[in-house]
Amino acid sequence: MITHEDILKIAKLAKLSVKETEIEQLTKDMSEIIKFADTINTAVEDKDEEFDDINNIVNAYHEDEVIKSFDKEEILKNSESVGNGCFVVKKHVNRR
């Protein structure tokens, strides 16, 4: 069951502003969406519970040998703002 609180929490995580008047409809819609997605649970599974990789592939590794990295210019070229060889973004304070 989706509650009003769930909607507010999801909105906050998604950084969306939700109007009070929209909550009712969103709650209904979201419940429908979840119900639809739940259909998948009715599928018969013959897989090992632990082994949840749908492709049944295991252990795709790279060897521990260094390959030359990209040029700094190439790495930074899509950045809107660059300084001192770094990507420059607006200051986020003390998140972590």
Contact 20, 43 (CB under 8 A): no
What's the closest the beta carbon of residue 93 comes to other proteins, in angstroms? 8
Q: Which of residues 39-68 bind other proteins (CB under 8 A)?
A: 50-53, 55, 57-67
Contact 15, 26 (CB under 8 A): no
What's the closest the beta carbon of residue 82 comes to other proteins, in angstroms? 9
Stretch that binds other proteins, among 21-29, 31-39, 71-79 (CB under 8 A): 71-79
Is 76 an interacting residue with respect to other proteins (CB under 8 A)? yes
Enclosing H/E stretch for 82: strand 82-83
Enclosing H/E stretch for 33: helix 20-38
**Packed helices 20-38 and 4-13: angle between N→C axes, nearest 10 degrees:** 90
User: Can you give the binding site for other proteins, defined by CB under 8 A?
Assistant: 9, 13, 50-53, 55, 57-67, 69-70, 72, 75-76, 83-92, 94-96
